[in-house]
Each structure stands twice: as C-alpha cells, then as structure tokens.
Structure 1
C-alpha cells in the first residue's frame, strides 16, 4: 500500500510517502524476483472463480490520488510491466469536483484517465476521505455512491474495488460498500491478503518513507511481518476500542438513550 510518491511531499503526507528513487528500486525487486502484479479486481475474481493465481502474485496499490503516482510511479510500472490499483478520493482530485481539503498536490482527471489507459485499475476511496465508521448512514451512503458515480462519469466505467480511508471499517461500513456496488474492498491490517479474510476485508502492508530496501524485500517475501508492524498492531487494537466507544456514544445520542 502506497500513498504519495514524491521528492518533497507535504508534511502531512511525508511519513506515508516514498521517494521516486525508493519506489523505482522497490519495483525493480518485484520484477527481478519474478512476482506477477495483479489488479485488485483480478485477484478477487480469481478467488471467486477458483482460478489459479500465478506462482508469485502481488498487489501494488495507491491510496488517495497524489500527483506523483502519474509523474513518478507510472513510468516505473510501465517499464516493468506491472499492474496496479489506484484508489481515488474524488473530492480531492483537481478539476470540476474538487471540494478542497487535500493534504498535498493531487492528480487531475486527465492524469487519472492516463493511468486507466495504461492498465491501472481505478478504484473508489470515498469522495472526501472521512473515517467511515464514524459517520452517520446518510454520509456513509453519500461518500460511497458519490465517489462511484464520479468515477463512472469521468472514466466511463464504475469502479468495482474500494479501499477504506485510514483502513477503518466495521460491519455496517462493509455492508454499505457492498450495497453501493463495489465487488471487493481493501483495508490495511499490515498483513498479507488471504482468501479467508473475505472480499470486503482484504489486508495490505504499508510502505513508508522509512521502509528500506532490505525491509521491503522481507515484506515482499512474507517474512518478519509481525515483528515489523508490532507497534502498529498495538496502537491499532487500542484505537479500535476508542473508535467503537465513540460510535456507540454517537448512536446512543441520536436515539436519545
């Protein structure tokens, strides 16, 4: 899971960004070690149909829609013949539907079309990037449907894959994403995707500015994942309890309990 690919990202995105040089080196490792990159839709369809996957499958995904994905990542992916999935927050993209609030320079719709034409799967990532498990039903439907409608309007094809902003979801969110027409969805989890996770809770590994090439190689090979993300897992468990409590209090307030 990538976010921004840039030499000088904004402070808000720096930790979850990678430099163009680091990204190029990482994709060279993917190609040199014989991995086959799939789109999210291709992986999900293979699991649904029971079709065999290639020997070394990998998903390369980008969240949000930062401009560096077109400027820096696309040429590298094209060079190595690697497929990828870009999950866009439509209200952050530059152009007619821009609602502001983006933390860094974002893609324009013409660049998104370039990526799609090059074989990148374009998925949904809501309209304005809220924490979906913390919003009410009306906002939840708006964020999922508005995103899907705009991608279909701009690209001529509705997105079939979705990624939860911040990786946050619950049963209500997953049910809504499915009802909105998405066939599969990705979380974070910092674990490898497994069929048993189900099509609406597939997990990913975070690649950060601090991810060195040796650590990247270990993650790609599925080694030392638990140790690498131990601190993240501890924080995630604690924050999950806080989030559930907040959601319950809001629900109680709405119903006067």
Structure 2
C-alpha cells in the first residue's frame, strides 16, 4: 500500500517594507500636500526605523538580491528600505539631515525635467532640487535613480515616447553625476509589461513601482513593491508595516481592478477631446 506524503507548504516570503516618500515639509504646495509628511512626523518615523530592529539597506542591495547577482550577499531577514520620488527641494533641506543623523541610507528617484529652470516636467509648480543639490545628496551617500524626464503615466503613452522618457532621464543624470544610473522608479507607480521590457533593454537593472504592499525576496525585479506614506498615514499602520503586517506581501499578479484602471486611463489618453 502506497502511503501518500503531503508536501510541506512553501515558506511564506519574508516581508520587506520599502517606504515611499515624496515631500517632507510643514508648508507644502496644496497639490502635493496629501503626499507630504511633516518634518516632525518624518523624524519620528525615522526614529522608529532606527529602533525597530530592522536593518536599513540600499536600493541596489534589494535589486542585486532580486537579480541573484553572483557574489551579492542575501538581504537581511529584517531589511527595510527608504525611498523618495520626484526630487523636491525639501529632501535636501529636511529629509537628508534627519537620515544622516540616524545613518539611514536612502534612494532618491529624480524627475530630470524638473531639474532645469522653467520645469520641463508635468509636475505642478513646486520648489525642486537642482543638479548641485542632487550631487550633494550623492556625496551624502544617497543612491540616485531615474524617474523619467517629464513624469508621465508610462503605461498610457506610445512606446516610443516611453522609451524617450526612460532614456533621456537616465542620460541626463549620468551626464550630471558622471556615473551609471541603472535604477528606476515609475511615475505614479504605473508600468506595463511593455514598459518593463523597455526599461530592461535600455539598461536599467531594476525598477520600483508602488502597489502599496510589502515587498519580499521573491518580488519582481522590474515591479518592486513599495508602501506610500501620506500626510495622514496613522502611526499604528506605520508600526505594523515595520513589523511586516497590515499589507499583502509581493509577489502577486495584477488584479482585475488594476488592469481595468489602466485600460480606462489609456482610453482617456488616446481619445481626442470633444469639440465644443
């Protein structure tokens, strides 16, 4: 008689909180205010990161681990990553000193069109970093990645436009910094299979999305999950994220709602406006 042996369940991926910030300021422009964390709140959150028992890591470490790079050490079981999108001036003024005081590394994904006078990006008016401030961040140990040139919803633009956005942003940063830039974050967190293939072909080694779920060592290298910090993110939820709770754990397939939302946005992007 053959005895059936039930296979052991696959181990649950270890949750990796990747925190996504935009602005750290007490008086932000109204349009970014919902995505702005006050200076005091940010200081408290970074104190919690430092005291949580988690090990702050660099974005390149996460990508190296996901890619299985030869010789790359595995991520600590209790890793955490802090990231910033867009490149607001308050990163230099407020966030960077708080991070430096606590020896917490960070990654900053820069919209290169906003670096130039006159703001060539789609971002509404706000004080943004300039090239000198980006270099200052690099000197302080911040990893710099691309965030496109004009900040479009990449999954709704034509393939050639997406390629130009990803290429120009990479080259502008590399020219300014004199170093390779091979990390990327998608504006709004939006991507598609085509966009991700394009990013890989251009020379990016990995890319960060949003998704508002916990990442893990099994996450997708070109769709790494992050958790968005808002002005009203409850302290209890932040604490739970650091414990690896209060959110799903990547990887998981795109939901039907996500696909439907993309289709709707594409339809709006490609539909000519009605004439009066």
TM over 0.5: yes
Name the residue aligned to 1:118.
140
Deviation at 1:100, TM superposition (A): 5.0
Distance 1:94 1:221, change over 3 A: farther
Q: Which protein is bigger by CA-based radius of gyration?
A: 2
Report matched runs for 1:99-248 at 5 Å: 99=120, 101-103=122-124, 104-225=126-247, 238=257, 240-245=259-264, 247=266
- Among 95, 106, 110, the alignment partner of 1:84 is 106
Confirm whether residue 42 of structure 1 aligns to residue 64 of structure 2: no
Mapped contact 1:94–1:106 kept (Cα < 8 A): no
Mapped contact 2:111–2:121 kept (Cα < 8 A): no
3-state SS in 1 of match to 2:115 = coil
Deviation at 1:142, TM superposition (A): 0.8
Deviation at 1:158, TM superposition (A): 2.5
Structure-1 separation of matches of 2:268 and 2:29? 34
Structure-2 separation of matches of 1:74 and 1:129? 23
- Among 32, 37, 51, the alignment partner of 2:73 is 51
TM-score normalised to the size of structure 2?
0.82
Gaps of 5+ in 2: 1-19, 249-254
Instruction: Identify which of structures 1 and 2 has the higher relative contact order when contacts are C-alpha pairs closer than 8 Å and 6+ apart.
Output: 2
Structure-1 separation of matches of 2:46 and 2:202? 33
Deviation at 1:239, TM superposition (A): 5.5
Aligned residue pairs total 243
In angstroms, what is the RMSD of aligned CA positions?
Answer: 2.2
Mapped contact 1:90–1:98 kept (Cα < 8 A): no
Structure-2 separation of matches of 1:42 and 1:222? 19
Name the residue aligned to 2:89.
67
Structure-1 separation of matches of 2:219 and 2:263? 21
For residues 114-161 of structure 1, what are the alpha-carbon distances to aligned partners after superposition, in whole Å with 9 as ceiling and x for unaligned?
Answer: 111111100000000000001112211110000000000100112111
Structure-2 separation of matches of 1:239 and 1:37? 30
Gaps of 5+ in 1: 227-235
TM-score normalised to the size of structure 1?
0.88
Mapped contact 2:157–2:269 kept (Cα < 8 A): no
